[in-house]
Structure 1
């Protein structure tokens, strides 16, 4: 028999879920504010106690609402932070699996796309990156899941296009996580970093070069395109980018691209030879 206390707790849970189901955007935003304020930092067991062993019922509602409304940007940051409370709680593996089973990782990656996503703020995308960090840090199979969802491409493109250096640094942390303990897809991450070198964003170039140094030591072999990409970066006017490129070149001379690097460096340092015709004095009539 269920005790009176347990019945009351279940009744409160059902009432809360009903309030959520019947609420409009403004009311749901208020519910999220209260949830974030009251549950930040709680463990999984504490969340279950708060929701009478039915916390997953609220998580699935959050995930569903995220998938249905993320294109509009409605209360997006609050929804992501609320989901983050579940995913970052101690002993949260159950919540993580439930979130991923309904396509949570793919939704987070879709949030990073810029085309048709003008209503999604930079802060929302940064929160998405942080949740992807949580997923990636949960183990190898979760890193593989992100990579199998074309995550490296989406994440790298977002790094190149982001206007916030703070957000770009969060992306670097995510790429670094995907690089470690992910032998099946570490080459994919490595190639993704190389594609960032021609970026018009100096910060993206700097972070990509920093991470490439680590990637190179993990992978060992070099990709054929890395020489031209790194040498072209040396033409930049941004000293911090030049510095990172030089540091990477110092590492690369220990690999099979050493000769190609030296030839390329000599070409860069050799001033162009003027055309012979330009040296001839003009004949004045």
Structure 2
């Protein structure tokens, strides 16, 4: 027989559940406010004590209302926070299983794809997915098997909330660890985010890719072009993360493709060529983005070369010296000139053959200025000298010497 105290507790629970069942939106919203205030941080046993061993009955009602109303956003943030109290409860694994049994993961993923819902609601949905993923490998696999990586990555790319994007990064980082069956899928999902228009999403994706690189060991060739394209970003934090990932990839099989791509970025089309390619829209935006990419590539090349003699030699074989001189002659973008000069001076001081090539290209006077002040010497060039440098990509050192003598 149950004691009088137990009977009273059961009556209290039944009255609470009836209040919920009979309540409309305003009443249920009030119930959720009280529940969140009084039960945040409680363990599973504490929740059972609060609900007279019937906490699952309330969780079932929460999940049922969620499934019926999530498309309309009805009290969605409060509903998700309340469910989160159950899923995050220590010694409350049963609540997680009950939530998953009714298709909770699919509901959370669908919330992320509804454009009319608030960012705050989607952020709460991501937090619940974190709780699911952090419960173990089979739960991470469940999210991935539900096409979760695509939904989560798309939300990262389109979200306008920095806080929500940071929560997504934590989720993707969790899905990428201890999940060997689907870690490549997570990696590809992050790569797919790189071309998006959100600099914060790009930065977070690059950070997570670098962390995952340590686990994967190798990288797909599909990463090369999206990664190099991020160097076009006007946001220095994106460029920084891109260069950090490039450093991590130098031990991978994609290194030759990355180095070749970096060298190619040093010699973008001239303004005149871009205007001819699109005469209807000869705007300055495209050339400027290419010059930003040129400068970032020059900076990355210098960093990579200084870290590895093998990489430096490989870059020389790819024609980096002439390409850096082309960038040094770009008087339309002084940042390109500066970064190319700083990188080239390393090659000149390290490889005697490079020193001779550059000396022939710029002449003794400018060469001495270059060696004395590589970060400012380009300001002393005239337009003719800059034009010679900008044209070096197709000339050998001997041809450059002949050209200079002729023009002189």
**TM range, smaller chain:** over 0.9
Aligned equivalent of 1:206: 203
CA offsets per residue over residues 209-252 of structure 1, 9 Å max, x none?
Answer: 00000111111121111111111111111111011111111111
Aligned equivalent of 2:240: 243
Aligned equivalent of 2:26: 26
1:222 to 202, 219, 233: 219
CA offsets per residue over residues 107-127 of structure 1, 9 Å max, x none?
Answer: 11111003xx41x21111111
Aligned equivalent of 2:185: 188
- Higher Rg of the two aligned structures: 2
Whole-angstrom CA distance in 2 between matches of 1:167 and 1:124: 9
Q: Secondary structure at the match of 1:264?
A: helix
Whole-angstrom CA distance in 1 between matches of 2:251 and 2:171: 27
Whole-angstrom CA distance in 2 between matches of 1:166 and 1:25: 28
Q: Secondary structure at the match of 2:201?
A: helix
The reply to whether residue 125 of structure 1 matches residue 122 of structure 2 is yes
Aligned equivalent of 1:41: 41
Q: Which stretches in structure 1 are left out of the alignment for 5+ residues?
A: 279-285
Whole-angstrom CA distance in 1 between matches of 2:208 and 2:267: 30
More helix by share: 2
Q: Secondary structure at the match of 1:181?
A: coil
Q: Secondary structure at the match of 1:71?
A: helix
Q: Secondary structure at the match of 2:221?
A: coil
Whole-angstrom CA distance in 1 between matches of 2:236 and 2:36: 42
Aligned equivalent of 1:57: 57
Q: Which stretches in structure 2 are left out of the alignment for 5+ residues?
A: 277-408
Over aligned residue pairs, what C-alpha RMSD do you find?
A: 1.4
Aligned positions of 1:16-165 closer than 5 A: 16-114=16-114, 117-118=115-116, 120-165=117-162
Aligned equivalent of 2:174: 177
Greater relative CO, 1 or 2 (CA 8 Å, sep 6+): 1
Whole-angstrom CA distance in 2 between matches of 1:78 and 1:235: 41
Aligned equivalent of 1:7: 7
What is the total number of aligned residue pairs between the two structures? Answer: 274
